[in-house]
Amino acid sequence: MSSTPRIESKFNMLTRTPSLWLGLILLTVVILTAVFGGLFYDLDLQKAFSSSPNLPPSQAHPLGTQAEGRDMMALLIVATPATLLIGLIGGSVGVLIGTILGMSSAYFGGTFDTLIRNLVDVGLTIPPLALLIMIAASFNVVEIGMMGLVVALTSWMYPTRVIRSQVLSLRERTFTHIARLSGVSHLYIIFVELMPNLFSILAALFVNAVSVAILASIGLEVLGLGSQTQTLGRVIYYSIYYAAMWRGLWWWWLPPILILIAIFMGMFLLSTTLDEITNPRWKRAG
Amino acid sequence: MTPNNQLIEVRNLTRVFKSSGNRHSQNTAVDDASFSLRQDQSITLTIAGESGSGKSTLCMMMLGFLKPTSGNVLYKGNDIYEIKGVNFSNYRREVQAVFQDPFQAFNPFYKIDHVFTVPMHRFNIARNKLDARRLIEEALEKVLLDPSNILGKYPHQLSGGQLQRIMLARAFLLKPKILVADEAVSMIDASLRAIILDLMVDLKTEYGVSQLYITHDLSTALQISEKILILYRGSIVERGSTKDVIQNPQHPYTKLLISSIPLPDPDKKWKNEAGVDFKESSDISDKSGCKFYNRCPFAMDVCISSHPPTYQVGIDQGAACFLYDDNEIISDISI
Amino acid sequence: MNQISLLSVDGVRISYYLPNRTIRAVNGVSFEIMSNEVFGLVGESGSGKSTLSMGILRLISPPGKVDTGTIYYKDQNILLLGDEEFRQLRWKDLAYIPQGSMGALNPVMKVRDQFYDVEWDHNGSKSRKEIDERIMDLLTKVHLAANILDKYPHELSGGMKQRVCIALSMYLEPKIIIADEPTSALDVITQRAVIATLLEARQRLKASMILIGHDMAIQAQVADRIAIMYNGYIVEIGKTKDIFNDPLHLYSQHLISSVPSIQHKQNIHEIALAGLKRSTSLRQTDIPKLTEVKPGHFAAI
């Protein structure tokens, strides 16, 4: 009979997984550069025509400049946090909606549940990009907050389904019955009894939703349907617009792609590791 | 409404489950069950049945977790699916349960203290934190557990036997009027069962808690209950004093059940092998007629066309079988 | 009736090697299975009885390992046989009915095909007609109707699945049948039918049976001799009647008095207290070697 509580033993497991560390390192590097880069680099250089256009990488411009005379390094330092923010907004809103809908649908059942369940089942079969293009093209997306909300429109469905099935099974567990016999309200049961058992799944879902949101936003921006703010997708869009690839201006399209790869790999590794931990097989690891 | 003497009353309770795939097939899990417990006595009533008998469905309906298809569950005269407010809170406080799997009964996220603190807070049981702590410790000691070994631990750190006793401690603390024990010892090692059963008897004799003991094990039923109902595929086929029903069963199903129980005595082997039942209950959805028809060695024509009422077969014994149609039909189903 | 020794288990120790600790599941166990007998192996969860049966059938895989000991069948130590040689033995000589009827049956094969599988896996020589005749014969013996042959396992009830498993295990006419908790999760009436079927099967084959379980009442009904396991050790072994009349080890007494009576009302309080005392005693004492206290009746006291 061990004496370590379950939370501790899971943390120990976390610290022992190499994939988690790699994911965290990748993400940390990207985030730190995005957040603090401005302290070490002059961000005014991202403005159009602040330098000569199309310059290859040099000491003055470590990543060169692009067709509008913007310094690439500065541009990326500004664009990365914007993309991450869209991901954060899109992912959070998506998971929030998913949690609320999934939990109430599963717990209260009835016609509401049937409605949500069918909506999600159908919605998940629609190609998300098609849906997003329709929505983005109909509205004039001006800034990244709106962009975040638009991509949340596709990232809420999967969390709803996952949380719904989890809550359905938790609802029938004996400890839920005991809670009801203790006289507490349904809301109490949802938030105090059921929710804590969903924390690890929510964490994994959140990471997943953020990735989905970023991907969706890049998809839209590359097609020219993004906001006016400088984001990684927008940088790539303009590199296509100005035919950077044919003109050999590799310092324009390669760096944003590498940053995106780092972000996605980091997210993926984080999410699969969290996924492993939420596997019920670990629940009796004491 | 005239005040009645019934603590809990189950009246013509029926629950039908429709199969989602096949539109036409449905399963009547509980079929017109009626019984009651009186307020002025504390007894243990066994609801005995094999799997598929409907005992779990009956349990869920009595605890307010599953609405019946027809019929009522009345607590102190009120239909539990209609009452609100104070009446409902009282019902929640006064009817408690212990379930089959002790590991599932605890929320793995919280320490085991959680099962005490939540209802104590909700039902305003303790005056202050110190009082609460004292009450919990007393309850744990009552079930022969040492509070210092138990409090502050997580469920996965304790054994099944300990967890089940904690559930009983919770019942001791809440002092309900009725305790529903759903297969409370089925998942406990045989050598530990006596302790749990003994505690349940204590609850009844010292604190006056009536109990509904749901089980498939007739031997334990004999040891701790005064009255019994035998369920077969949703219907109550025999009822009455536990001793009489077990030692002198009248319904063919009860007879088959009791003769199948192995005795722990090499000199008392199972009698006539010819009495072994190799048929299993059929899936034919039988609208009318006795459900035991296809397995009954005494089956008659009338059994296939009508459902037998419960006939008086002893001072405190009733059997739903046409073999006894010369006897009186029991009208008062209160225990 | 002269009995010969069929299976001789000597000093078998099986352990599980986990990353942070080693569990000694079976701690140096020795016994013999005689011909034409029902041998009961009794113990509660954690006693090592299932691990032992897995060991005899060489079904222990890492992190489990048979550390030491020999198991002799027909003058051969089966623990040392090659995989292919043992595979021939398994099912032909040693049949196994696993715990929970799910185990032996392939969920995506009809019952009929499962019988064919057994035949072709081990003999491959009989014609379809011969096999079908044999199957029908076996089904009658387990009181099942021919119509179950075209069904899938999930279409059968628990009791029927178990009887199919019994019929399958009988197919190659084994000398020893190992039945591991054959009636757990079955209701009392079906349990009796399954046990009756098992006994009939064994008698016809004149095979021996190792019946593994935790229910002393069933053992009283069917076993000729019983070995009682506790914490990986055998604490008592002897004829069923001898053990029930005079249980020598504390744990045997504990198991026997844990079966509640269906015949008369007992004093539950006293039984509970006595049980508690015994459990505490058991936890505190070591388990010595088995000694022959009376002829044929051994106990670890």
**For residue range B167-207, what is the model confidence (pLDDT) as tens digits?**
999 999 999 999 999 999 988 888 789 999 999 999 999 99
Contact list in B for residue C262 (CB cut-off 8 A) is 218-219, 222, 246, 258, 261, 263
Q: What is the DSSP letter of A280?
A: G
Report yes or no: B96 at the A interface, CB cutoff 8 Å.
yes
Name the residue among B133, B230, A234, A150 with its Cα closest to residue C189.
B230
Strand order in the sheet with C5-17: C22-34, C5-17, C64-73, C76-77
The answer to whether residues C148 and C112 touch, using CB atoms and an 8 Å cutoff, is no
The pLDDT assigned to B83 comes to: 92
Look at chain B and report how many structural domains it folds into: 1
Report yes or no: C263 at the B interface, CB cutoff 8 Å.
yes
ipTM of model: 0.90
- Best B101, B193, B244, B265 member to test C by mutation, with max C CBs in 10 Å, is B265
Strand (E) positions, C58-203? 64-73, 76-77, 94-97, 176-180
> Is B335 a residue whose pLDDT tops 50?
yes
In a domain, residue B326? The reply is yes
The pLDDT assigned to B123 comes to: 93
Task: Return the H-helix or E-strand segment holding B92.
Answer: helix B85-94
- Residue A212: strand, helix, or coil: helix
Contact list in B for residue C215 (CB cut-off 8 A) is 190, 262
In a domain, residue B286? The reply is yes
Report yes or no: C140 at the B interface, CB cutoff 8 Å.
no
pLDDT (mean) for C211-232: 93
Using CB atoms, list chains with 3+ pairs below 8 Å to chain A: B
Nearest to A175 among B63, B92, B106 (CB): B106
Cβ contacts below 8 Å, chain B against chain C, sum to 120
pLDDT (mean) for B261-268: 89
Does the distance separating the beta carbons of A175 and B157 come in below 8 Å?
no
Contact list in B for residue C217 (CB cut-off 8 A) is 261-264
The answer to whether residues B58 and B240 touch, using CB atoms and an 8 Å cutoff, is no
Does the distance separating the beta carbons of B118 and A184 come in below 8 Å?
yes
* CA A31 to chain CA centroid, nearest Å: 13
Residues in chain B: 335
Q: Does domain A19-285 have CATH number 1.10.3720.10?
A: yes
> Is C45 a residue whose pLDDT tops 70?
yes
Residues 275-294 of B with CB under 8 A from A: none
Which is it for strands B6-18 and B95-98: parallel, antiparallel or unpaired? unpaired
The rounded percent of chain C whose pLDDT value lies above 90 is 39
Which two tokens mark B155?
A: 């469920």
Cβ contacts below 8 Å, chain A against chain B, sum to 69
The answer to whether residues B73 and B89 touch, using CB atoms and an 8 Å cutoff, is no
Nearest CA distance, B139 vs chain A (angstrom): 17
The three state secondary structure string of A160-200 is HHHHHHHHHHHHCCHHHHHHHHCCCCHHHHHHHHHHHHHHH
Report yes or no: A174 at the B interface, CB cutoff 8 Å.
yes
Contact list in C for residue B262 (CB cut-off 8 A) is 192, 195, 215, 217-218, 220-221
In a domain, residue B175? The reply is no
> Is C224 a residue whose pLDDT tops 90?
yes
User: Closest residue of B to A188, CA-based?
Assistant: B118
The pLDDT assigned to B171 comes to: 92
pLDDT band of residue C284 (cuts 50, 70, 90) is confident
Which two tokens mark C30?
A: 């020795």
Using CB atoms, list chains with 3+ pairs below 8 Å to chain B: A, C
In a domain, residue B305? The reply is yes
pLDDT (mean) for B110-115: 95
Q: What is the DSSP letter of B217?
A: -
> Is C212 a residue whose pLDDT tops 90?
yes
Contact list in C for residue B144 (CB cut-off 8 A) is 276
Nearest to C220 among B195, B201, B262 (CB): B262
The pLDDT assigned to B70 comes to: 95
Q: Which amino acid is at C143?
A: H
Question: What is the C-alpha separation between C182 and A272, in angstroms, rounded?
Answer: 41
User: Closest residue of A to B90, CA-based?
Assistant: A183
Report yes or no: B163 at the A interface, CB cutoff 8 Å.
no
Nearest CA distance, A168 vs chain B (angstrom): 15
Question: What is the C-alpha separation between C247 and C300, in angstroms, rounded?
Answer: 11
Report yes or no: B307 at the A interface, CB cutoff 8 Å.
no
Question: What is the C-alpha separation between B92 and B124, in angstroms, rounded?
Answer: 13
- pLDDT, tens digit, 9 for 90 and up, residues B4-13: 788 999 999 9
Nearest to C221 among B247, B258, B269 (CB): B269
Name the residue among A156, A138, A158, A159 with its Cα closest to residue A148.
A156
Higher-pLDDT residue of A17, B144: B144
Question: What is the C-alpha separation between A268 and C18, in angstroms, rounded?
Answer: 31
Higher-pLDDT residue of C220, C122: C220
Q: How many degrees, rounded to 5, is the angle at CA B103 between CA B99 and CA B107?
A: 95
pLDDT band of residue B282 (cuts 50, 70, 90) is low
Nearest to C268 among B194, B267, B278 (CB): B194
Residues 79-138 of C with CB under 8 A from B: none
A144-153, B41-50, B101-110: lowest mean pLDDT where? A144-153
Contact list in B for residue A173 (CB cut-off 8 A) is 104
Distances (CA, A) of B2 to B41, B88, C98: 20, 20, 59
Report yes or no: B80 at the A interface, CB cutoff 8 Å.
no
Question: What is the C-alpha separation between C281 and C250, in angstroms, rounded?
Answer: 8
In a domain, residue B190? The reply is no
Report yes or no: B158 at the A interface, CB cutoff 8 Å.
yes
The pLDDT assigned to C173 comes to: 87
The answer to whether residues C224 and C216 touch, using CB atoms and an 8 Å cutoff, is no
The pLDDT assigned to A12 comes to: 60
Contact list in B for residue A8 (CB cut-off 8 A) is none
Task: Return the H-helix or E-strand segment holding B70.
Answer: strand B70-75
A173 Cβ partners below 8 Å, 6+ apart?
A: B104
- pLDDT, tens digit, 9 for 90 and up, residues C151-189: 998 888 888 888 888 888 888 889 999 999 888 878 888
Question: What is the C-alpha separation between A229 and C282, in angstroms, rounded?
Answer: 75
> Is B288 a residue whose pLDDT tops 80?
no
B71-85, C116-130, C148-162: lowest mean pLDDT where? C116-130
Residue B23's CB: how many other CB atoms inside 10 A?
8
Nearest CA distance, B258 vs chain C (angstrom): 8
The answer to whether residues B27 and B54 touch, using CB atoms and an 8 Å cutoff, is no
- pLDDT, tens digit, 9 for 90 and up, residues B294-322: 888 898 989 888 889 999 999 999 999 99
The pLDDT assigned to C103 comes to: 65
> Is B273 a residue whose pLDDT tops 60?
no
- Best A113, A117, A166, A174 member to test B by mutation, with max B CBs in 10 Å, is A174
Does the distance separating the beta carbons of B105 and A184 come in below 8 Å?
no
Provide the residue range defining the domain that includes B289: 249-335
The pLDDT assigned to B321 comes to: 93
Report yes or no: B122 at the A interface, CB cutoff 8 Å.
yes
Nearest to B264 among C196, C214, C220 (CB): C220
Nearest CA distance, C5 vs chain B (angstrom): 24
User: Closest residue of A to B123, CA-based?
Assistant: A183
Does the distance separating the beta carbons of B118 and A1 come in below 8 Å?
no
Which two tokens mark C177?
A: 């049948």
Does the distance separating the beta carbons of B191 and C279 come in below 8 Å?
yes
The pLDDT assigned to A13 comes to: 59
Residues 177-196 of A with CB under 8 A from B: 177-184, 193, 196
The pLDDT assigned to B62 comes to: 96
In a domain, residue B3? The reply is no
Task: Return the H-helix or E-strand segment holding A276.
Answer: helix A250-278
The pLDDT assigned to A175 comes to: 95
- Residue B228: strand, helix, or coil: strand
- pLDDT, tens digit, 9 for 90 and up, residues C67-95: 999 999 988 898 888 888 888 888 788 98
The pLDDT assigned to A1 comes to: 35
Which segments in chain A show pLDDT lower than 70?
A: 1-17, 141-142, 275-286
- pLDDT, tens digit, 9 for 90 and up, residues B159-177: 999 999 999 999 999 999 9
